[in-house]
Amino acid sequence: MATARPPRPPLVRSALLGAGIALSLSSGLHAQGPGPLQVTGVGEPVSVGAAMHRGYPAYPAWTLRALGARVDATPAGTRIFFGADTLEFMVGSPFFTAAGKPWQLVEPAYREGGVFYLPHQLFVEWLPRAYPEQIAHAPGVLRLLGGAPAAATTAAPPKPAPAGGGSGDTARRPPATPLGEPAPAPLVVIDPGHGGVDPGRIGPTGLREKDIVLQVSKRLARVLAERGYDVRMTRTTDTLIDLDDRGHMANEWRGSRPGLFLSVHANGVTDRRANGFETFFLSEARTEDERRVAEMENAAVVYEDNPRVTADDDLGFILSGLRNDFYIRASNTLAGLVQREFSDFHSGVNRGVKQAGFRVLVRAFMPAVLIELAFVSNPAEERLLGSGRFQVDAATAIADAVDRFFEEHPEWTGATH
């Protein structure tokens, strides 16, 4: 059983581990922080004092250039290229990705005076552990072992910022995308729910959720592609994809581009009068009805070949750790936009933005929502769901919400502004 399960993502572990280590470290620190850190390896060593802007020690991201890393400012944060790996940090978030995998620090990265700061924990704990062959930490010193890592040797030699230099990362560094080159098209991953042996909800006349959501998803893919998005679908045929794999696929497709994840579903209950549309983002359910929908959609796992029965524990941990996550706020916004667009054409009840713990959303590290188009259990809405008119309207409404999202949040498009 344990062997069938992929390794637990590092997210939770690092959070727990990190908390313990940060405590033991900070107990030995006075209020001014841990003192200067010398970073040495490529070019002149740099020495920087610990910044205490947020009450915990942090160092500027640019100091990692002395390890041969390339450090680029992005609109939302900072991207660090070390060897073959890309580490991506966002302003205000303790979460980051390294080579596509999620990690969590005890404290968030932040920007101050135009300089991007990374928590002390990254320098003294995470980097030396993640790259034991290449990076060593001793009190006050972070050192590159051997030479600069191969893929980073083209990086410009590190230039320590002048003392007190306020111009900061953003002003001095080239943007991640060279000027004059268009930013990559944002990715939109469309995830038609269910499929194969899992029919989803079934309507009074036999309409199956898995078929409806695939039809709407295909229409949506066409509309979004026409509008210039890079569109991927987790399935295009009547097949079952494991819930956990759907998010993994999305992360791989995204790389370091901006991206959104849209899971498309239809609702169903025994009360045939229930009707309307609702959009969920990932968080802990607050109401019985939210829990009901999450259980209904998470139940798809019973059709999987190797159901990962212990994953509910992961879900709980991740949810409790994600409350302030950057993506959660963006997902909430996106859910609101979908509801607004649906209210313009949908004849059913606007049931609003809701939150619950969906397995399919947990693994997607990007703004992600789950849309319940209508109730297939309601005879009138079952007819609607099967109609081409409704499917086109629903696809257009979702595409409009995606447009609005990127208009209102240019920081997610990767465009410099």
What is the length of the chain? 417
Q: Give min distance, CB of 336 to Zn ion, in A.
A: 21
**Residue ranges binding Zn ion (CB under 5 A):** 193, 200, 265, 297
In degrees, rounded to 5, the angle at the alpha carbon of residue 34 between the alpha carbons of residues 93 and 95 is 15
The encoded tokens of residue 142 equal: 């972070």
Integer Cα distance of 119 and 56 in angstroms:
7
In the bound complex, which residue of the shown chain has the CB atom lying closest to Zn ion? 265
Q: How far is the CB of 379 from Zn ion (least distance, A)?
A: 19
Q: 118 near 73, Cβ under 8 Å?
A: no
- Which is nearer to Zn ion, 297 or 411 (by Cβ)? 297
- Structure tokens of 350? 């606007």
Tell me the β-bridge partners of 91.
Answer: none
When the beta carbons of 128 and 386 are compared against Zn ion, the nearer one is: 386
How many Å apart are CA 338 and CA 278, to the nearest integer? 9
Residue 211: CB minimum distance to Zn ion, A: 12
Least distance to Zn ion from the beta carbon of 384, Å? 17
* Shortest spacing between CB 267 and Zn ion, in angstroms: 8
Residue 33 or 193: which CB sits closer to Zn ion?
Answer: 193
Q: Which amino acid is at 130?
A: A
- Is 325 or 372 the residue whose CB approaches Zn ion more closely? 372
Name the CA dihedral angle for 143, 103, 176, 171, rounded to a multiple of 10 degrees.
-70
DSSP letter, residue 299: G
| Cβ–Cβ < 8 Å for 266, 375 | yes
User: Residue 138 in contact with residue 127, Cβ under 8 Å?
Assistant: no
User: Tokens for 408?
Assistant: 């209102």
Question: Based on CB atoms, which residue is closest to Zn ion, 63 or 378?
Answer: 378
Amino acid in the structure at residue 109: A
Q: Which is nearer to Zn ion, 50 or 360 (CB)?
A: 360
Question: Which CB atom, from 65 or from 359, has the smaller least distance to Zn ion?
Answer: 359
Nearer to Zn ion, 82 or 390 (CB): 390
- CB 310 to Zn ion: min, Å: 23
Least distance to Zn ion, CB of residue 298, Å: 10
Identify which of residues 186 and 192 has a Cβ nearer to Zn ion in the complex: 192
Q: Strand ranges (DSSP E) for 1-109?
A: 37-40, 46-48, 58-60, 70-74, 77-82, 85-90, 95-98, 101-104
- Which residue, 93 or 355, has its beta carbon nearer to Zn ion? 355
Please say which residue, 130 or 294, places its beta carbon nearer to Zn ion: 294
Please report how close the Cβ of residue 308 comes to Zn ion at its closest, in angstroms.
19
Sign of the torsion angle spanned by Cα atoms 351, 357, 362, 367: positive
Q: How far apart are CB 409 and Zn ion at their closest, in Å?
A: 27
Look at phi and psi of residue 54 and say left if phi exceeds 0, alpha if psi is from -120 to 50, else beta. alpha
Q: Is 129 left (phi over 0), alpha (psi -120 to 50) or beta?
A: alpha
Those residues whose C-beta lies under 8 Å from the C-beta of residue 149, and which sit 6 or more positions away, are 68, 82, 83, 84, 134
Going from the C-alpha of 289 to that of each of 127, 153, 203, 267, the distances in angstroms are 43, 55, 19, 11
- Nearest approach, Cβ of 193 to Zn ion (angstroms)? 4
* Distance (Å) of CA 118 to CA 80, 126, 288: 11, 11, 40
Give dist(CA 21, CA 17) in Å, integer.
6
CB of 236 to Zn ion, least distance (A): 17
